[in-house]
Amino acid sequence: MAQMGFFDLSDRYASLDAKKDPLVEIDTVVPWEEFRPTLERAWRKPDADRKSRAGRKPMDAVLMFKTLVLSALYNLSDDQIEYQVR
């Protein structure tokens, strides 16, 4: 596979937008940031409960929520979602 050029990614996004990409439509309709406070409370441990600050930084809670919504919409397994995100 050839190396991507400077404008390959922007051209790809433009072609997806021209075809009415459903992910863009979902992103404009759903107010993702309104879920952040609830997700943070449910997902993250309070700093007092953590033994150490070491280790990998956690992924964004809203990003994880988006992947759960997409896996439900498109009937994707956990392995398929992990493959798509990476």
- Mind listing the pLDDT tens digit for each residue in 57-79? 778 899 999 999 999 998 999 89
Residue 3 has pLDDT above 70, yes or no: yes
CA dist 62 to 27, 37, 44, 54, Å?
A: 12, 10, 12, 22
Task: For residue 1, name the pLDDT band (cuts at 50, 70, 90).
Answer: low
pTM of the model: 0.69
CB 37 within 8 A of CB 63: no
Residue 36 has pLDDT above 90, yes or no: yes
Sign, Cα dihedral of 80, 70, 25, 43: negative
Task: Read off φ and ψ for residue 12, nearest 5 degrees.
Answer: -65, -45
Angle at 28 between CA 62 and CA 36, to 5 degrees: 20
CB 81 within 8 A of CB 71: yes
